[in-house]
Amino acid sequence: MGRNAPTLLHRWDGVTPLRQVGLGVSKLTHESAIQMSLFEDPKMEYYREWDRQFDENRSRYEDAKLLAYERKHREDGTDGV
């Protein structure tokens, strides 16, 4: 139960009718998820594509840097540390 639920349950006598019971949740999605707008912004697709391409290129270049680093240290006989 949440932080306030035990306190509220101990204060309720179990007989008095309840008018309203609330429930809250958080962190149900991944960080990459975005909330859609009721009125979708036409530029949003442009930004999503830009982000995808940026991540793809960053990944490609990170892999190339790692391979070059490993090759350099393999050739000079060091472990890179």
Instruction: For 41-75, write each residue's pLDDT tens digit.
Output: 778 888 888 888 888 877 777 777 777 778 887 77
User: What distance in Å separates the CA atoms of residue 8 and residue 2, rounded to the nearest whole number?
Assistant: 10
Q: What is the mean pLDDT of residues 15-31?
A: 80
Q: What local confidence, expressed as pLDDT, does residue 4 receive?
A: 63
The mean pLDDT of the chain is 76
pLDDT band at 2 (very low <50, low <70, confident <90, very high): low
pTM over 0.75: no
Domain parsing of the chain, residue ranges: 40-81
User: What distance in Å separates the CA atoms of residue 75 and residue 73, rounded to the nearest whole number?
Assistant: 5
**Residue 1 confidence (pLDDT) above 60:** no
